[in-house]
């Protein structure tokens, strides 16, 4: 029992050390890492020595600080190359769809075309529902799904999109107000912009590089959505935001 407890503590410390590198910063001196993790230097040295021997961590010859090692990078590359975002997102989307009995879609951003495409959908059991086309490229300057992505692109990219789509000055003003709203509340609701008669509530998705990569959006017939009371509308927005954040977290995003 004592050995099992000891091994458990060692593993817990190892994970705490690795999280410091993945979540906080990429290089650490021994003393500063000891203070951050509240682990005695002598104990930390033993953990770092083991991780270094396995090439999970290495010491920079320039700074003398510990950093991520080649074996850690190799393992992470294998895992990330096999990640299917649809499989990751599906259970989180299903939770929202089940809770509200509405359709939820996964949209991915394509930087080359500056458009999004919907690649996965969880459909409502309600016979009166709207179905988004999967696979086709869609503009990002309108609808909650597009605007939730557009809000987190570089300013010059936003301007190039609006110029290409010939968005008027008046439309730009309203659009920028909506983009600010995405930043403020973490999601956006629009009405009839991508599909006539349908509302969309969407929140952005991010990857480990802190880049926006898409969104999840809940599509509801406008007349059904307008029947929601304010608390229900806020709850829907909160749940979409919450599940988008959970998906982003699994993908490695950290605020």
**Residues 6 or more apart in contact with residue 34 via CB below 8 angstroms:** 40, 41, 44
| DSSP conformational letter for 132 | P
The residues spanned by each domain of the chain are: 2-80, 83-250
Residues 16-65: pLDDT tens digits?
999 898 888 889 999 999 999 998 998 899 999 999 999 999 998 889 99
pLDDT of residue 79: 66
* Residue 62 dihedral angles phi and psi, to the nearest 5°: -80, -45
Residues 86-102: pLDDT tens digits?
999 999 999 999 999 99
Q: CATH assignment of 83-250?
A: 3.30.450.40
Specify the long-range contacts of residues 175-181, CB closer than 8 Å, at least 24 apart.
175/141, 175/147, 178/147, 178/151, 179/147, 179/150, 179/151, 180/151
Cβ atoms 145, 133 nearer than 8 A: no
pLDDT of residue 12: 86
Q: pTM of the full predicted structure?
A: 0.72
Across the range 218-225, mean pLDDT stands at: 92
CATH topology of domain 2-80: Arc Repressor Mutant, subunit A (1.10.10)
């Amino acid at each position: 029992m004592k050995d099992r407890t000891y091994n458990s503590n060692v593993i817990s410390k190892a994970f705490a050390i690795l999280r410091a590198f993945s979540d906080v910063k990429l290089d650490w001196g021994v003393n500063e890492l000891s203070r951050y993790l509240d682990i005695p230097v002598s104990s930390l040295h033993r953990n770092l020595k083991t991780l270094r021997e396995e090439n999970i961590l290495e010491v920079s010859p320039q700074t003398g600080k510990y950093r991520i090692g080649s074996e850690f990078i190799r393992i992470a590359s294998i895992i990330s190359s096999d990640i299917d975002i649809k499989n990751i997102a599906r259970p989180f989307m299903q939770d929202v769809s089940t809770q509200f009995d509405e359709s939820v879609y996964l949209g991915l951003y394509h930087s080359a075309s500056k458009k999004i495409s919907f690649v996965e959908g969880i459909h409502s059991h309600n016979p009166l529902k709207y179905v988004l086309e999967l696979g086709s490229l869609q503009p990002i300057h309108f609808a909650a799904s597009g605007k939730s992505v557009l809000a987190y692109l570089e300013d010059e990219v936003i301007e190039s999109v609006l110029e290409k789509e010939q968005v008027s000055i008046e439309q730009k003003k309203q659009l920028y107000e909506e983009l600010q709203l995405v930043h403020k509340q973490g999601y956006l609701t629009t009405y009839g912009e991508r599909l006539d008669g349908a509302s969309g509530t969407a929140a952005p998705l991010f990857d480990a590089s802190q880049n926006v990569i898409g969104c999840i959006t809940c599509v509801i017939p406008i007349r059904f959505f307008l029947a929601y009371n304010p608390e229900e509308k806020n709850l829907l927005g909160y749940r979409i935001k919450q599940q988008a954040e959970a998906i982003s977290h699994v993908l490695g995003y950290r605020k």
